[in-house]
Amino acid sequence: MTTTLLQPTATRHEIAAATDTVTDTASVTKSMTRRLLTSELRLFARDPLTLTFVFVFPILTMLIIGGSFGTESRHGFPVNPSHWYVASYFTVVIGATGLIMLPVHIASYRERGVLRRFAAAGFPRWCFAAAQLAIGLLAIGVAGSLLLAVAAPVYGIPTVADPLRVAAGVGVGATAFVAIGVLLGTLLPSARSAQAIGLLLFFPSFLLGVGGPPPTVMSEPMRKLTEVLPLALANRAIREPWLDLGDATGALLGTAVIAMVATALAARRSAL
């Protein structure tokens, strides 16, 4: 048996040292998060695939589809089709970020042992996930602004009927899909599989629930499907209060539930 009781003076030193350590650890952690975020932002700006898919694809498809049905509310569109698509394509940015950009990025880091290197270097477990969350939200903000900037002179930006609800829809939708992206990235074993699964999830959601034909021209089973697709829910939570088509409370709540569950699961899985 080894007796290891400390003397009271030593104990005070221990407390002081431990307190210093706690303070030091907090500042070191902040510094690490800042460094990781800076580095990830820099790398994000250098990735042509990500830039193309998140920034260029939504704008190009919006310009093509938005101009295909004219400006009259017909063909099953309840409002000006161009405005319908401008409001819808904001969600495309969210989907592309959450279903393609983040899963591929995170899975490739895992596959190549970058995450292990971060862990071994002492980056806290949540640090990388937090950096990805910040980058995902920033990407959505920048890509969404670019989309509106391009849409403005071409089709005009539809008046936002209920700004608060639209903001809530964008916030909750972005959080939900960034969390889904982090979750997929931590679950899928490789960048290739993340790309395959991401595209498989993205395109049906995109075509059925966001950027495809309006639900009124779809068959009944397809319409039913659009009601449960997460990206379609997020789209309704943004588009309906934007275009004064309803308050979309159900869609907003549904998206919020998805956001909470996905965030909880992503936080649980984001151990490096």
User: Least CB distance from residue 23 to another protein, whole Å?
Assistant: 7
Which of 71, 92, 91 is closest to 81 using CA atoms? 71
Binding flag, residue 15, another protein (CB under 8 A): yes
Distance CA 47, CA 97 (A): 13
Cβ contacts of 24-32, under 8 Å, gap ≥ 24: 29/124, 29/127, 32/122, 32/123, 32/124, 32/127
User: Least CB distance from residue 40 to another protein, whole Å?
Assistant: 9
Binding flag, residue 192, another protein (CB under 8 A): no
Structure tokens, 182: 């982090």
Cβ–Cβ < 8 Å for 62, 147:
yes
Binding flag, residue 101, another protein (CB under 8 A): no
User: Which of 12, 30, 75, 223: binder of another protein (CB under 8 A)?
Assistant: 12
Binding flag, residue 8, another protein (CB under 8 A): yes
User: Which of 23, 145, 159, 216: binder of another protein (CB under 8 A)?
Assistant: 23
Binding flag, residue 34, another protein (CB under 8 A): no
User: Which of 121, 153, 219, 221: binder of another protein (CB under 8 A)?
Assistant: 121
Report DSSP letters for 79-133, one per residue: S-HHHHHHHHHHHHHHHHIIIIIHHHHHHHHHHTTHHHHHHHTT--HHHHHHHHH
Residue 224's Cβ-count burial label (10 Å; 0-12, 13-18, 19+) is: exposed
Given the complex with another protein, which of 39 and 68 has the nearer CB atom?
A: 39
User: Least CB distance from residue 225 to another protein, whole Å?
Assistant: 38
Distance CA 260, CA 173 (A): 11
Binding flag, residue 249, another protein (CB under 8 A): no
Given the complex with another protein, which of 8 and 153 has the nearer CB atom?
A: 8
Binding flag, residue 21, another protein (CB under 8 A): yes
The contact set with another protein (CB under 8 A) reads 1-2, 4-8, 10-12, 14-15, 17-19, 21-25, 28-29, 31-32, 35-36, 39, 42-43, 46-47, 109, 112-114, 116-117, 119-122, 124
